[in-house]
């Protein structure tokens, strides 16, 4: 039976987020002090050794990313926290920021020290104005106390575009330009904000850092799945009894999350499918529920961990209709910069609507498959690459549902 | 250096090269749409995707740098499927209008559709249905044909620094549009036409005025007279199946007579005249303190639009000389008409120009010094190229024909007006002799030649050191102007041409995707100059006649009436 293990959310509901003293009394800002005594490279090595991987979706080794920025020679470097949290059904970053904002600031400050940056930005989802207030208060308190040293953090508010969560679009947006992704390479670690080496990490990634520095890489590595150690926060929604959030070790299975902590399906109904990682996540059936939720195990079965949103669907849900809605989402959220996504998201939605209304033909399924295949390898950024995932996975796992709607 | 294997072929290329460049080295052309050799990488069309061994994602060849040991497949089944699908997606949003399209036969999208054998498109055709933008006299925009490659933005923003174009809306509604989504005439567009060269398809093009021309030559009451700008001959060769510069001037004249022109004259003549007037104006500003320094040349109408729009506070620095086109227009219906005994009311004056901005200039209300509209119609080099096509002329068989008299003779100084630095060099050739009263032995001022953005030189005029600068493209102009505005310009005389390379790279020239072609045309211009017996404007015998019989003196009363103008600030809605 799955149990919660709170590292990132340790102080959640325990301390007053608006009182820096509470955070300090709970042991806060000690890790930052320790890091400064360790030296830059040892801090990076420790984070690298811990194998902390990005919690924003791509799962890149955080210490590795910091190394690039550390090694780059530049007169100015930046640390950016990605708090755009645009993935539907995800609110883990909000919980961290509103319940324990100093943990994020401390994680960023450790990173800034390690890579040699003196300026940081938190790019916060536009729908979270009260979180922006909390963050600004926390920053003011930390400055008053002098804990951040010469590291300056500014909070920027997003304008509501999902694509602005993509790290290079986010950077463009901070620069005051149209929020569109850049081609990569060069990666932000080499050429980021204003062309300078920049670390971009997710809120949850930064929030893990103080404990890693304090307790060591070996301690962190011993938790959860070896290839993606530590914990992960999941946010449950849809047809599940406990629609709330849980922080669990990463080797917890999806079944445990839904049926253990989540309390199973309400109303005595049967489970049908689950979509993990938000709208860009795979929609998977019962047979894959024993997969551990870590990044690599999920990838192996053609699913995604993504942001950790868990959307549960019971037997009454119309899977084709759900997939059609994700298609509409991506049509709406495509930034329009690259041809396969600009045109492809619109076409996927167009064809899905047709199928969903019972007007589809057998050829439409082949076309969708081809289009999805092409988009997932050709689009400029992760949005277009992931847009076909819900379609392709439902066509694979729930073919009968499609066949029931398609003519011929 | 990095050694890369592309479709089994090994090549070694400098570090940081893209897959696209490496493939070219290996003899493989990867298709592109958004890529432009003189612009920043965009990587938005994705038509250049290739498979890189060990990578799940396909790589955009135009943007992906190679590494040592990289193995690339440019036409695996996965790649072909991706390219075909992307093409189908683009074509399903594009008017199926090739037969009626100005770019029929010279269109990168059409070429790709043929190369990838697009036969049946599985996606349903969805056209936006926007009206054409014909708000300027020079440029037409056809929104529906735009494929969002953004090359026009690269030309307008990176190279010209005009920023008339941008992207509006998101997703499949995203569009490249003039500033604030308005009409081109509401934007700061200076109608230079550089976006036309950049555009891979028929979404931006010149205001084509073939019908007006055909009507004029069909009208027995009209005497149709033409002038040919200095940059036209070298480039129009490219449109009649010859190499750049290969078309002989007098064979070109013969071709124009075939099109129905009654008299063929030359803008080179008024280019020489410009040098006399502008040279004396410079001397007046240098020695008599009349007028502001540095003085700017004023023969590039795209540049004039730019100055009137972005630097209205510096208009006094512009030479008051009209462009050679407009000097010609004013004289052809006065001096020439009188000399030929032709009623000026019957003269229909057509200019053949490398330039889209000249269409705008000819339509300016003040350009009627002759008592009529000075220049009735401006045809670009491309339009005349199309007329030649329609006429079915074989230029290898046409017999040469001489220019008509009184405004048809020219010197090498007039010829080099077509290249960046040419006006400066021509002016120096004349000013030197006027001031020093000595013969200039070496007429070649090579410091002001070539494709470098800003060039400088210093000339000793009887002990007075005159510092000059030459800028081409409006990005260079902006740099020079900002210096002037800040009071930090070290120069006395500045030549500016709106287009990269000068008029040979003008917005109305045969489509040129790269500066390499422009450099080639420049070379041809200097070859022509070097081969002429007369290379200084003041030695042109017809110019001498003009002053003796009509103008009497440079900057005189008649000159002011006909050859000089004044400038006004331009106010645009969205600037
Ligand atoms: C369309 C799109 C949206 C994204 N949205 C977010 C987001 O809201 N929050 C986030 O942390 N990462 C998001 N990402 C991932 C970021 O690009 C980037 O990988 C991440 O911020 C890196 O941080 P990490 O290594 O700590 O995960 C998004 C990516 C894409 C392609
Ligand atoms: S994949 Fe979509 S969101 Fe990403 S750059 Fe292309 S159009 Fe924009
Ligand atoms: S732009 Fe090209 S593809 Fe489009 S109609 Fe014109 S010629 Fe055809
Ligand atoms: S004509 Fe020149 S100024 Fe106008 S949009 Fe094109 S490039 Fe820009
Ligand atoms: S107008 Fe032409 S150059 Fe500009 S984006 Fe459209 S297709 Fe590309
Ligand atoms: S040419 Fe490479 S993406 Fe357009």
Q: Which atom of ligand 3 has the smallest separation from the CA of B203?
A: 1
The answer to whether B361 is a known catalytic residue is yes
B542-550 average pLDDT score: 96
B193 ligand 4 Cβ < 6 A: yes
B198 ligand 4 Cβ < 6 A: no
Query: Does CATH place domain B211-563 in 3.20.20.540?
Result: no
- The Cα–Cα gap between B547 and B553 comes to 6
B189 ligand 4 Cβ < 6 A: yes
Q: Do B171 and A346 touch (CB under 8 A)?
A: yes
Q: Do A345 and B171 touch (CB under 8 A)?
A: yes
| End-to-end CA gap in chain A | 47
Cα-based distances in Å from B75 to A367, B36, B418: 21, 22, 43
A234's enclosing H/E stretch is strand A231-238
Fold of B2-75: Ubiquitin-like (UB roll) (3.10.20)
Q: Is B179 an 8 Å CB contact of chain A?
A: no
pLDDT at A340: 98
Closest residue in A to B81 (Cα) is: A374
> What's the gap in Å between A397 CA and the centre of ligand 2?
27
pLDDT at A31: 98
Q: CATH 3.40.950.10 region(s) of chain B? A: 211-563
From the list B333, B358, B455, B536, the catalytic residue is: B358
Tens-digit pLDDT profile for residues B5-35: 999 999 999 999 999 999 999 999 999 999 9
The answer to whether B115 is a known catalytic residue is no
pLDDT at B574: 86
In chain A (408 residues long), the average pLDDT of successive 10-residue segments reads 90 97 97 98 98 95 98 97 95 98 98 98 95 98 96 93 97 96 97 98 98 98 97 98 97 97 97 96 97 96 94 98 98 98 98 97 95 98 98 97 87
B439-464 average pLDDT score: 92
Hey, what CATH class is A20-222 in?
A: alpha beta
Q: Do A378 and B58 touch (CB under 8 A)?
A: yes
pLDDT at A362: 87
Q: Which residue has the tokens 């494709």?
A: B451
B227-237 average pLDDT score: 96
Q: How is domain B127-206 classified at the architecture level of CATH?
A: 2-Layer Sandwich (3.30)
Q: CATH 3.10.20.740 region(s) of chain B? A: 2-75
Contacts of B91 in chain A (CB under 8 A): none
A314, A317, A318, A320: CA torsion to nearest 10: -60
Beta strand B493-497 with B464-472 is: parallel
Q: Do B86 and A339 touch (CB under 8 A)?
A: yes
The answer to whether B246 is a known catalytic residue is no
Q: Is B123 an 8 Å CB contact of chain A?
A: yes
Q: Is B363 an 8 Å CB contact of chain A?
A: no
Pick from B83, B92, B172 the residue to mutate for testing the A interface (most A CBs within 10 Å).
B172
Q: Whole-prediction pTM value?
A: 0.96
From the list B157, B187, B319, B349, the catalytic residue is: B319
Q: How is domain A225-314 classified at the architecture level of CATH?
A: Roll (3.10)
B49-52, strands of its sheet edge to edge: B9-13, B2-6, B71-73, B49-52, B59-60
B74, B80, B85, B87: CA torsion to nearest 10: 60
Which residues face B133 on adjacent strands?
A: B141
> What's the gap in Å between B268 CA and the centre of ligand 1?
61
A319-405 CATH, one of 1.20.1440.230, 3.20.20.70, 3.40.50.720, 1.20.1070.10: 1.20.1440.230
Q: Would the CA dihedral through A5, A9, A12, A15 be positive or negative?
A: positive
Tens-digit pLDDT profile for residues A178-208: 999 999 999 999 999 999 999 999 999 999 9
User: B206 by DSSP, 3-state: which?
Assistant: strand
The ranges assigned to domains in chain A are 20-222, 225-314, 319-405
Tens-digit pLDDT profile for residues B471-486: 999 999 999 999 999 9
Q: Do B46 and A350 touch (CB under 8 A)?
A: no
Q: Do A338 and B64 touch (CB under 8 A)?
A: no
The answer to whether B135 is a known catalytic residue is no
Q: Which residue has the tokens 């955009």?
A: B60
């Amino acid at each position: 039976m799955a149990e919660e293990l709170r590292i990132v959310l340790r102080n959640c509901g325990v301390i007053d987020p608006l009182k820096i003293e509470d955070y300090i009394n709970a042991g806060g800002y000690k890790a930052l002090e320790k890091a400064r005594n360790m030296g830059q490279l040892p801090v990076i090595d420790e984070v690298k050794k811990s194998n902390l991987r990005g919690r924003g979706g791509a799962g890149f080794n955080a210490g590795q990313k910091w190394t690039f920025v550390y090694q780059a020679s530049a007169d100015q470097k930046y640390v950016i926290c990605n708090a755009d949290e645009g993935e539907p059904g995800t609110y883990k970053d909000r919980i961290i920021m509103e319940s324990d904002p100093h943990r994020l600031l401390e994680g960023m400050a450790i990173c800034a020290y390690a890579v040699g940056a003196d300026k940081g930005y938190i790019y916060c989802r536009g729908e979270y104005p009260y979180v922006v207030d909390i963050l600004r208060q926390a920053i003011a308190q930390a400055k008053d106390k002098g804990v951040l040293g010469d590291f300056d953090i500014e909070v920027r508010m997003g304008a509501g575009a999902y694509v602005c969560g993509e790290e290079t679009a986010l950077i463009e947006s901070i620069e005051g330009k149209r929020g569109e992704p850049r081609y990569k390479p060069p990666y932000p670690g080499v050429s980021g904000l204003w062309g300078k080496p920049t670390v971009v990490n997710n809120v949850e990634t930064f929030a893990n850092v103080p404990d890693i520095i304090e307790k060591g890489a070996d301690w962190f590595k011993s938790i959860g799945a070896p290839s993606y150690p530590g914990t992960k926060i999941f946010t449950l929604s849809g047809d599940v009894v406990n629609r709330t959030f849980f922080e669990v070790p990463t080797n917890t299975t999806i079944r445990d999350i839904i049926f253990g902590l989540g309390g199973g399906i309400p109303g005595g109904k049967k489970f049908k499918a689950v979509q993990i990682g938000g709208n860009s996540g795979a929609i998977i059936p019962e047979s894959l529920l024993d997969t551990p939720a870590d990044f690599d195990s999920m990838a192996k079965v053609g699913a995604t961990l993504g942001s950790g949103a868990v959307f549960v669907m019971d037997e009454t849900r119309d899977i084709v209709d759900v997939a059609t809605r994700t298609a509409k989402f991506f049509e709406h959220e495509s930034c329009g910069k690259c041809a396969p996504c600009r045109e492809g998201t619109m076409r996927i939605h167009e064809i899905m609507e047709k199928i969903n209304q019972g007007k589809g033909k057998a050829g439409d399924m082949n076309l969708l498959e081809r289009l999805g295949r092409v988009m997932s390898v050709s689009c400029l950024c992760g949005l277009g690459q992931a847009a076909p995932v819900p379609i392709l996975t439902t066509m694979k796992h729930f073919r009968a549902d499609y066949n029931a709607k398609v003519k011929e | 250096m990095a050694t890369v294997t592309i479709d089994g072929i090994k090549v070694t290329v400098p570090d940081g090269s893209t897959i696209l460049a490496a493939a070219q080295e290996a003899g493989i052309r990867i298709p592109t749409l958004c890529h432009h050799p003189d612009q920043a990488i965009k990587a938005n069309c994705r038509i250049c995707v290739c498979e890189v061994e060990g990578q799940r994602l396909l790589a955009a060849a135009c943007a992906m740098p190679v590494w040592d040991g990289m193995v690339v497949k440019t036409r695996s089944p996965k790649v072909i499927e991706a390219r075909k699908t992307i093409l189908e997606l683009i074509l399903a949003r594009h008017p199926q209008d090739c037969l009626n399209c100005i770019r029929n036969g010279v269109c990168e999208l059409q070429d790709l559709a043929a190369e990838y054998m697009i036969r049946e498109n599985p996606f349903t055709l969805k056209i936006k249905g926007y009206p054409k933008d014909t708000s300027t006299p020079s440029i037409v925009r056809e929104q529906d044909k735009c494929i969002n490659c953004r090359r026009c933005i690269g030309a307008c923003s990176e190279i010209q620094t005009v920023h008339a174009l941008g992207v509006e809306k998101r997703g499949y509604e995203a569009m490249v549009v003039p500033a604030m989504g308005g009409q081109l005439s509401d934007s700061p567009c200076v109608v230079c036409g550089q976006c036309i060269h950049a555009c891979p398809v028929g979404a931006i093009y010149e205001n084509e005025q073939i019908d007006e021309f055909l009507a004029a030559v069909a009208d027995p009451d009209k005497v149709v007279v033409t002038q040919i700008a200095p940059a036209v001959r070298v480039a129009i060769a490219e449109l009649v199946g010859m190499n750049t510069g290969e078309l002989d001037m007098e064979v070109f004249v013969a071709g124009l007579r075939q099109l129905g022109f009654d008299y063929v004259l030359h803008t080179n003549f008024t280019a020489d005249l410009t040098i006399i007037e502008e040279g004396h104006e410079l001397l007046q500003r240098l020695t008599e303190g009349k007028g502001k320094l540095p003085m700017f040349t004023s023969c590039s109408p795209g540049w004039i639009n730019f100055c009137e729009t972005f630097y209205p506070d510096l208009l006094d620095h512009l030479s008051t000389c009209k462009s050679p086109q407009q000097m010609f227009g004013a004289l052809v219906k006065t001096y020439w008409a009188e000399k030929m005994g032709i009623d000026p009311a019957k003269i229909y004056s057509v200019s053949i120009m490398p330039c889209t901005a000249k269409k705008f200039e000819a339509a300016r209300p003040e350009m009627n010094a002759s008592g009529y509209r000075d220049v009735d119609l401006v045809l670009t080099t491309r339009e005349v190229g199309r007329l030649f096509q329609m006429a079915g002329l074989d230029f290898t068989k046409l017999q040469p024909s001489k220019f008509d008299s009184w405004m048809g003779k020219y010197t090498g100084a007039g010829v080099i007006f077509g290249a960046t630095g040419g006006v400066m060099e021509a002016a120096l050739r004349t000013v030197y002799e006027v001031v020093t009263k000595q013969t200039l032995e070496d007429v070649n001022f090579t410091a002001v030649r070539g494709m470098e953005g800003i060039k400088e030189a210093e000339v000793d005029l009887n002990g007075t050191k005159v510092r000059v600068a030459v800028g081409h493209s409006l990005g260079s102009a902006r740099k020079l102007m900002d210096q002037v505005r800040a009071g930090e310009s070290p120069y006395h005389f500045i030549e500016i041409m709106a287009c990269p390379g000068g008029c040979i790279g003008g917005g109305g020239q045969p489509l040129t995707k790269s500066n390499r072609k422009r450099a080639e045309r420049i070379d041809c211009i200097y070859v022509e100059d070097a081969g002429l017996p007369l290379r200084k404007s003041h030695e042109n015998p017809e110019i001498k006649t003009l002053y003796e019989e009509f103008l009497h003196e440079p900057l005189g009363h008649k000159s002011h009436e006909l050859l000089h103008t004044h400038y006004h600030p331009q106010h645009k809605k969205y600037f």
